[in-house]
Structure 1
Amino acid sequence: MRELMPLLMKGTLVTIEIAFYSILLAIVMAGVAAAMRTAPWRPVRWIGNVYVEIFRGTSLLVQLFWFFFVLPLPPFNLELTPFTVAIVGLGLHYGAYGSEILRGALRSVPGGQFEAALALNMPAAIRMRRIVLPQAMINALPPATNLMIELLKGTSLVSLITLSDLTFRARQLDESTFKTAEIFALTLLIYFVLAQVISYVMRHFERRFSSHLVRRTPRIAK
């Protein structure tokens, strides 16, 4: 096992790097898509809906293959590295799901909050930053944690586009050593530990948002 761990650790570092950048892209795309789908202009809403429906309604594996094998062909002639394909594919795919989470969280904020902010003549940007988003994030973080863990597990598919991630290394070691049980047991354990790290970090953010919201909520005198 001492001989296997260094190779698995190399694949784990690749998996962590892909997951990190993909999560960042997914967060950005979720915010952009949610803003587009709630925009007052119909063409903007239509573009946001098309993005979400395409990436939510098709297979992630096929999307990765499309970016990797189809984009280099005419008329696109756009050749991306496997690492870039992995980040773009995972980020766009899970960003579409994230936009639904964010849109639902924004709608969960009571309407009275909007009306009170409007009555105070609060600008839209300040209203969103100080009233809406803090409350929406409390509802968005638990499902967002699940989505990030799903993204982490989805990184195993990038081994099919020649990236030497954790799954790729596990299959490589299995073919050369035939220690199937030991290798894939270790692989499962590594994915489990990475998922627990994501859960821990997100629970920390959830506690921070909750305590921040409680501190900013005015107490009504009896």
Structure 2
Amino acid sequence: MILTPENYERLWEGVQVTVTVFVLSVLLGAVLSLIFGVAKMSQHAWVRAIANVYVEFARGVSAIILLFWVFFSLPTLLGISLSPLTAGFLALGVNMGAYGAEVVRGGLQNVPRGQTEATVALNMKSSQRLRYVILPQAIPVILPPFGNLMIEILKGTALVSLITLSDLTFEVDKLRTTNVTEGPILFLHALIIYFILAQIISTAVGFFERRSARRFGLVS
């Protein structure tokens, strides 16, 4: 199970790219999740319609097709140039945002109606109600499924190898082509690395989940 130092260096470079794509995708996905999750609860029908179109479209399209479209088609349509890294996190972030929007909507709906009515009675603005009262109480409900989405995005980062981005999967496959006999060992290393990264994410999400739950007295 021991690889050469050069191979480990290549794997480490791939891990850094994978983590970069993951972080950027999650950041974009989180922003889109919040925006469209709130939009789906808007009092304005046209706002809800826009949010529904985005959510249904992004969830209904395969992530790999969306990735190819962003990388190969979007630059041609807009007359711009997108790097594999940019195309990768845009596609994954848009995909995550659609699923995350439903998570956010569900979390917001879980907040007791009395809380919202109290903020209205206090004459708080909509943005203030969301920021200071509703969203903080929804976070303990949002975090667990959002953590699952983050792990799905981590696994989805392997798709960026198909657009020549040198992530962990790309580096493993490239090393395998130069030394077929090390293929099983290389993929075993990749499996272990992805598992470790997923456990780190799961542990971090669990920590923040418990912390936010204690804040609102949801756990003893």
TM-score with structure 1 setting the length: 0.91
1:114-166 deviations in whole A, cap 9, x for unaligned?
22333344443332233211221111100000000000000000000010000
Task: Tell me by how many angstroms 1:87 deviates.
Answer: 1.0
Shift of 1:71: 1.7
CA distance in 1, matches of 2:217, 2:116: 18
Q: 1:123 to 1:76 in 2, by over 3 A?
A: closer
Q: Deviation string for 1:39-60 (max 9, x for gaps)?
A: 2222221111111111100000
Shift in Å, 1:83: 0.8
Give the deviation of 1:38 after TM superposition.
1.6
Does residue 42 of the first structure (1) align with residue 39 of the second (2)? no
Structure 1 residue 119 corresponds to structure 2 residue 118: no
Give the match for residue 164 of structure 1. Answer: 166
2:84 is matched with which residue? 82
Q: Which amino acid aligns with 2:134?
A: V
Q: Distance in 2 between matches of 1:48 and 1:124?
A: 18
Whether 1:25 and 2:28 are equivalent positions in the alignment is yes
Aligned to 1:52: 55
Give the 3-state SS of the residue equivalent to 1:79 in structure 2: coil
Work out the number of aligned pairs and report it.
Answer: 214
2: CA distance between counterparts of 1:119 and 1:24? 34
Within-5 A mapping of 1:1-222: 1-3=3-5, 4-73=7-76, 75-178=77-180, 179-214=182-217
User: What amino acid maps onto 2:151 in structure 1?
Assistant: I
User: d(CA) in 2 for partners of 1:170 and 1:111?
Assistant: 51
Following superposition, the deviation at residue 88 of structure 1 comes to 0.6
| Counterpart in the other structure of 1:218 | none
Identity of aligned residues (%): 44
Amino acid at match of 2:187: F
Structure 2 runs not aligned, ≥5 long: none
The one-letter code of the counterpart of 2:208 is F
Q: CA deviation at 1:78?
A: 2.7
User: How far did 1:202 drift?
Assistant: 1.1
Q: Distance in 2 between matches of 1:2 and 1:201?
A: 32
Residue ranges of structure 1 left out of the alignment (5+ in a row): 216-222
Q: Is the 8 A contact 2:38 2:104 kept in 1?
A: no
Q: What is the RMSD of the two structures over their aligned residues, measured on CA atoms?
A: 1.5
